[in-house]
Amino acid sequence: MSKITFLGAGSTVFAKNVLGDCMLTPALQGFEIALFDIDAERLADSERMLNNLKATSGSTCSIRAYADRKEALRGAKFVVNAIQVGGYDPCTITDFEVPKKYGLRQTIADTVGIGGIFRNLRTIPVMLDFARDIQEVCPDAWFLNYTNPMAVLTNVMNTYGGVRTVGLCHSVQVCVNDLFKAIDMDTTGVKSKIAGINHMAWLLEASKDGVDLYPEIKRRAAAKQQEKHPDMVRFELMLKFGYYITESSEHNAEYHPYFIKRQYPELIEKFNIPLDEYPRRCVNQISRWKEMRESLVNDTKLTHERSHEYASYIFEAMETNRPFKIGGNVMNTGLITNLPREACVEVPCLVDANGVTPTYVGDLPPQCAALNRTNINTQLLTIEAAVTGKKEHIYHAAMLDPHTSAELSMDDIVSLCDDLIEAHGDWLPAYR
């Protein structure tokens, strides 16, 4: 029996989408779906929910929850990762509240920035534990990483974990539709090309019947900037740097040094930036889960329709050898020629029985590559800190971060890092 293992299966809603999709996929019938989570209650919730789906869908997949991670992984053909180390309380709270004492405000704090750095530092050791288990009990498995910080964790699993890993993010999937909806343009017949790094990939081309749509996109975007709307940061970046970026404005507000600035507080209002957005989402999600748990977990008539999540389509393509195109996060083996080879990049990939085959992109527009490199710098230094255990590289990563370095002095950055290391306590390994 072939096996799909889901790590972080207590993410019940996400597990419903990804694994519900698998249960509806003909090529995946008969697979074992193995669930693992360190939260036994949430694990049991997901197991019950999936068994309800199994009954209503008629799927021949088997559902099994495991208390032992290595046994959950043993013999797996595919592994899906959706963990969050430290959760909202205490770690996300720490990532936001300690920097506030230095006047450093954030929106999401899960990719780069000071919050992204520390989310990486507490997650990388866990990911490398996964990699050691995978090497032992399912060395040929494909590892699908959905966990942020996407670029760093995917890089670590490939480079230091020795695991065949592709990182998957929704931002590429929804980029064109979201942009065209915002400016009231029709996506029918539109051809597009997207490449860059995760959360900062670029809509390099948008055309229809051979006509470049960017002039009209920018005209409408400039007009829309005259009123408040949710995507003002991305529109501003496009109008200044020439290309639309894949991830949301609340994310990109903290990836650059231009938008969240104490000396220019009016920018927050001007660009409609939702400070502390992620903690609010966490609180709302926790509240909603309490309300929806009963209907989702215990509904014996629960149904599911196949979603847009990539995972089941990737598995299907590998099983059937019917090609499927994705936007994937992979190592930069010369794919984007003006970004570092040691970086993880987000590019179009072809999936079939051979696995995930990335496509060659070449040079990005120089200004786009330059912006990508400002974030790659912090990503690579964060990895250096994690694999060497040297505290100085945490400082380097933070001092090179665009938003942090725009707001704080070097001495304050070092002090902030020390405070965060102390506040995280046992959630971080020891740094020398």
Spatial distance between the Cα atoms of 101 and 213, rounded to a whole number of angstroms: 45
425 exposed, middle or buried (CB, 10 Å; 0-12, 13-18, 19+)?
Answer: exposed
Query: Domains of the chain: which residue ranges?
Result: 3-86+111-167, 87-110+168-295+309-432
Binding site annotation covers 199?
Answer: yes
Chain segment 389-423, per-residue pLDDT in tens: 999 999 999 999 999 999 999 999 999 999 999 99
Chain segment 107-166, per-residue pLDDT in tens: 999 999 999 999 999 999 999 999 999 999 999 999 999 999 999 999 999 999 999 999
Give me the long-range contacts of 362-366 (CB less than 8 A, separation at least 24).
Answer: 362/336, 362/337, 363/336, 363/337, 363/338, 364/195, 364/196, 364/202, 364/204, 364/336, 364/338, 364/339, 365/202, 365/204, 365/242, 365/243, 366/338
Q: What is the pLDDT of residue 290?
A: 87
Chain segment 158-201, per-residue pLDDT in tens: 999 999 999 999 999 999 999 999 999 999 999 999 999 999 99
Q: What is the pLDDT of residue 386?
A: 98
Q: What is the mean pLDDT of residues 262-278?
A: 97
Binding site annotation covers 148?
Answer: yes
Strand pairing class (355-358; 344-352): antiparallel
Binding site annotation covers 169?
Answer: yes
Tokens of 256: 């650059």
Q: What is the mean pLDDT of residues 328-334?
A: 98
> For residue 19, what is the enclosing H or E element?
helix 12-23
The most distant pair of C-alpha atoms in the chain lies apart, rounded to whole Å, by 61
Break the chain down into helix, strand, coil percent, rounded to 5: 50, 15, 35
Helix (H, G, I), strand (E, B) or coil at 326: strand
Spatial distance between the Cα atoms of 54 and 185, rounded to a whole number of angstroms: 40
> For residue 215, what is the enclosing H or E element?
helix 214-224
Instruction: Using CA atoms of 51, 55, 56, 62 in order, give the dihedral in degrees to the nearest 10.
Output: 60
Spatial distance between the Cα atoms of 178 and 385, rounded to a whole number of angstroms: 36
DSSP string, 241-292: HSSEESS-HHHHTTTSSSS--TT-THHHHHTT--TTHHHHHHHHHHHHHHHH
Spatial distance between the Cα atoms of 231 and 238, rounded to a whole number of angstroms: 11
Return the closest-CA partner of residue 98 out of 409, 429, 419.
Answer: 419
Spatial distance between the Cα atoms of 6 and 34, rounded to a whole number of angstroms: 6
Question: To 10 degrees, what angle do helices 391-400 and 366-388 make?
Answer: 160
Helix (H, G, I), strand (E, B) or coil at 337: coil
Summary mean pLDDT of the chain? 97
Q: What is the mean pLDDT of residues 274-301?
A: 94
Contact by Cβ (8 Å): 122, 428: yes
- Domain 3-86+111-167, CATH: 3.40.50.720
Tokens of 44: 């049991």
211 exposed, middle or buried (CB, 10 Å; 0-12, 13-18, 19+)?
Answer: exposed
Active site residue 170: yes
Q: What is the pLDDT of residue 199?
A: 98
Q: What is the mean pLDDT of residues 300-319?
A: 97
Answer whether residue 231 shows pLDDT above 90. Answer: yes
Spatial distance between the Cα atoms of 261 and 246, rounded to a whole number of angstroms: 23
Would you mind telling me the total number of residues written for the chain in this entry? 432
Answer whether residue 1 shows pLDDT above 80. Answer: no
- Domain 87-110+168-295+309-432, CATH: 3.90.1820.10
Contact by Cβ (8 Å): 323, 317: yes
Spatial distance between the Cα atoms of 76 and 25, rounded to a whole number of angstroms: 18
Chain segment 346-402, per-residue pLDDT in tens: 999 999 999 999 999 999 999 999 999 999 999 999 999 999 999 999 999 999 999
Q: What is the mean pLDDT of residues 290-317?
A: 95
Answer whether residue 341 shows pLDDT above 80. Answer: yes
**Cis amide leading into 149 (omega within 30):** yes
What number of H helices and E strands is found in the chain? 17, 13
Secondary structure letter of residue 28 according to DSSP: G
